[in-house]
Amino acid sequence: MKKVIEIIRDLLNHIRSHQPYTTDDSWRYEYDRPKWITTHGRDGRKEDQYSQDLETLRVMIYQIHHYQHIIHTDESGRDINNNKLIEERKYEKPE
């Protein structure tokens, strides 16, 4: 079992590895990350699971930064915090 301080160090390294980061990137984080993981699944290998968990934490931190909350959607795809419709994550920047 990893110690909390090790996880935080790994998370900081993971965040640093995704630099530089700009405010134009905010569109990349407008999705329900836990729902995305549930829908698209996991590889199943422990090392991949840990990497995906670090990525989930990174996305959630960026969501708090951009949207002032972590995005969680209801069954109709609406953000439970502001009722905004959240479409499935897009991989290209919106027009």
Per-residue pLDDT tens over the stretch 2-28: 999 999 999 999 999 987 777 788 888
Measured between alpha carbons, how far is 67 from 65 in angstroms, rounded to an integer? Answer: 6
pTM: 0.81
How many Cα atoms occupy the beta-carbon half-sphere of 89 within 13 Å? 18
Q: With a cut of 70, list the residues of the chain below it in pLDDT.
A: 42-47, 89-95
SS (H, E, C) 25-49: HHHHHCCCHHHHHHHHCCCCCHHHH
Supply the pLDDT for residue 42: 65
